[in-house]
Structure 1
């Protein structure tokens, strides 16, 4: 007897449709500082929160009910309070605060994503005007600039901590973080390896923005800056580790190869190159975070997210050896590609 196959559930599709609803619930609650208000007064009712925000009760009740369903709030008697997840990651000023990334995605990414079909048709970014600017990184608005780099730091900090446990830098002494704006990787790696010093190589204005992060971390004696453009200026030599963290996905293949050649030339013999990225599977059918980030690069840059085997091929062509890919689980990367200069 032929079995009758049950039809596939429609719910995965419905959940995809609801994705915008979910993200805008989080973004709006964060922008209204809902979680900060509940940190100050746990147990507030919808009416009390509405009074604090200067809004009407009906929309506020609808917003916080949805936040509770998403696990961002939980009931506290007649009112609500932050969940442990929210208290750790969404309160401004906290060590693990990732709200900067929420702001970056909301302000920089979403407008471009809503024009995704245009990006498909034109093969050009839609998150910024590519007719007037040369790249994502030459915006002159100081508020947008600071928001962008704060957001990048927010997801880089936990990722750097995971990577510090994945690679062994115990015998390394001098690291150069190429494009290390925000300073999260340099700071976390120096914390994990007390004998390590780091140099951040990035555009001058990015170095200026990052300086205060290093000062706040108390690492000005171990983390220095070399302003420059890695497409126009040679990288400083003599380092035994060079890091490219979430850099290569911003650029097309030819520019990626150019960056890798510059790193090879600058690296000391026997040194290591580390590439930390959301790696697309070699079969190009996942994982979801890497493939969606790659699509985000369509609206943000002229690059994409690459596979581990693509990196391996380019690294070997440049002259690197002993290429190894170590997977891990973190917000901004799912693995690190390690290569050695003979």
Structure 2
């Protein structure tokens, strides 16, 4: 009989150490954003520790530690004695870049991180800890003005890159008019209209969200291509008509299953027979065991919402079938805000 190697590799607590200290990486990252490190390095095309310390009003030791930590996180490169932004940081962490991601980091630092200190409370009560459902209709209906601005900048940060990726993997060439339901800052219509010159689009959202979108649309010079429509997709009986493509991006995970199913039925009623519904989300696998990006976003929905959670592709497929969609395809995405787009066509 052949001998089998029964030796087992001993378990190590190293993965647990990584989990336990994950906040070290985030808070280092957030501090570097708050201090303006990446703008400084971009402006001077790299700096020494001494130059960073002087410019950011830090002593030598904390400046040295911050730079070493950011380099270890692949946010900085080092040439001789000078630190420079890595290609990733140069593209996404300099405030003047069109894909600036710092808004999302600031929002997580100032809003999400403190709230997550109460995650056990959210687990025990099944209630959000960032707002009070007894006094607000939803997390989106009323906010501190400063936090509201942070929220929209955060959503815009992740939506811009996600919209660009969507435009690469799905061909909007046959569509003429796009309705972005709950479109927020208008990142998706703006980016898609830039790529597909024939496409016109509307952002359909609450009035205060439309004001944000109008500023972004004007800044992009697309007022004649992209507009806003004020409405409430939860309370309105119907969605606007006349669109051959409807987009739900980063929307369905905010709500419970009955709300999501009802919204899909409204989408079906608003679409022509040759139309398409696109759902961009962080999808769980069908076993609901991952990936972490989707599963942990679900935990964030526990902290932030009264019924939201992340769903699997199988769950969405079942909802779509019930709502009157027969042809469903799940297309993978590699984006900040979504790992897939579900393409659904009416039965």
Structures share fold, TM-score greater than 0.5: yes
TM-score (norm: length of structure 2):
0.94
Instruction: Please state if 1:279 is matched with 2:269.
Output: no
- TM-score w.r.t. the length of structure 1 is 0.96
**2:54 maps to which residue?**
51
Check conservation: 1:113, 1:127, Cα contact below 8 A.
no
What residue number does 1:209 align with? 212
Structure 1 ranges of 4+ moved more than 6 A: none
Give, in whole Å, the separation in 2 of the partners of 1:243 and 1:79.
45
Alignment coverage as a number of residue pairs: 342
- 1:32-78 per-position Cα deviation (integer Å, ceiling 9, x unaligned): 11111122224423233222222322222211221111111222332
Once residues 198 and 141 of structure 1 are traced to their aligned partners in structure 2, the CA distance between those partners, rounded to angstroms, is 29
Shift of 1:132: 3.2
In structure 2, do the counterparts of structure 1 residues 147 and 9 end up closer, same or farther at CA, with 3 Å as the change threshold?
same
Aligned to 1:245: 249
The structure 1 residue matched to 2:332, chosen from 320, 327, 335, is 327
State how far apart, in whole Å, the 2-side matches of 1:50 and 1:179 are: 44
Structure 1 CA distance, aligned partners of 2:52 and 2:133?
42
Greater displacement, 138-147 / 199-208: 138-147
Using the TM superposition, give the Cα deviation of residue 90 of structure 1 relative to its aligned residue in structure 2, in angstroms: 0.2
* Residues in 1 aligned to 2:83 and 2:172: alpha-carbon distance in whole angstroms: 45
Structure 2 residue 315 is the aligned partner of structure 1 residue 306: no
* Matching residue of 1:236: 240
User: What does residue 79 of structure 1 align with?
Assistant: 82
- 1:222 deviation in Å? 1.0
- The answer for the alignment partner of 2:228 in structure 1 is 225
- Can you list the C-alpha shifts for 1:194-237, whole angstroms capped at 9, x where unaligned? 21110110000100011111112121111111101111223111
Q: SS where residue 138 of structure 1 aligns?
A: coil
Partner Cα separation in structure 1 for residue 143 and residue 283 of structure 2:
31
Distance in 1 between the 2:138 and 2:244 partners?
30
- 1:81 & 1:239 partners in 2: Cα distance? 47
Q: Which runs of 5+ in 1 are unaligned?
A: none
Could you tell me how far 1:300 is from its partner in structure 2? 1.0
Deviations 1:250-272 (A, max 9, x none): 00011111111111121122211
Residue number among 316, 319, 323 corresponding to 1:318 in the alignment? 323
1:20 positional shift: 0.2
